[in-house]
Amino acid sequence: MKKLLVAILSIGAVITGIANAELDNPGGVGGLKSLRGDTPIEETRPSDTMKKYPREQVIDSNYVYQPPLIPHNIRNYEVSLNANKCLSCHSWKNAKQMGATKISVTHFMNREDAVLADVSPRRYFCLQCHAPQANAKPLVENEFESVDSLR
């Protein structure tokens, strides 16, 4: 009986706390800003302008093993279970003819480092690691310094 009374009182305290929080913060925004800005969840904010993707501009890597950035526009590229537009140029078969960089041999290895005849399923979805380079301001403050700048 004592445990039941404690549980009921605890639930009451939680409910009271939630009710007080809603009264103190109508609308639920709480003064926090997200990538949506201060637009409430219930509203749709205008979309950002499209970023410009500079052609043939290669941005150097900032750290070891960083996946290379994509130096071209990938708008309307399909990368799905059934198709991968990236491989039409970057596969070992087509890269030379297309003048594109071949995908790394590491993309043909499974988790046990066994070499496969085709691209590993865990490396098939290119956009999980590779992102297009764009002239865009950072979304959040970043004080990253490359190793070379620390000398």
61 belongs to a structural domain? yes
Q: Quote the domain boundaries for residue 61.
A: 48-136
Q: Is 90 annotated as a binding residue?
A: yes
Q: Is the pLDDT of residue 6 over 90?
A: no
Dihedral (CA of 68, 60, 105, 100) sign: positive
Would you say residue 56 has pLDDT above 70? no
Residue 107 in marked binding region: yes
The pLDDT, as a whole number, for residue 151 is 61
**129 a known binding residue?**
yes
Domain contains 58 = yes
Mean local confidence (pLDDT), 63-87: 87
Is the pLDDT assigned to residue 64 strictly greater than 60? yes
Q: How far is CA 45 from CA 42, 51, 111, 125, in A?
A: 10, 17, 42, 30
72 is in an annotated binding site: yes
Residue 83 annotated as part of some ligand binding site: no
The CATH number assigned to the domain holding 124 equals 1.10.1130.10
Tell whether 150 is in a known binding site.
no
Tell me whether residue 100 is in a domain: yes
Residue 129 in this model has a pLDDT that exceeds 80: yes
Residue 66 lies in a domain: yes
Residue 54 included in any domain: yes
For the CA atoms of 35, 39, 44, 46, the dihedral, rounded to the nearest 10 degrees, stands at -70
Other C-beta atoms closer than 10 Å to the C-beta of 100 total: 15
What is the rounded CA–CA span in Å between residue 3 and residue 24? 31
Q: Decide if 38 is inside a domain.
A: no
What sign has the CA pseudo-torsion 38, 41, 47, 52?
A: positive
Count of structural domains, the chain: 1
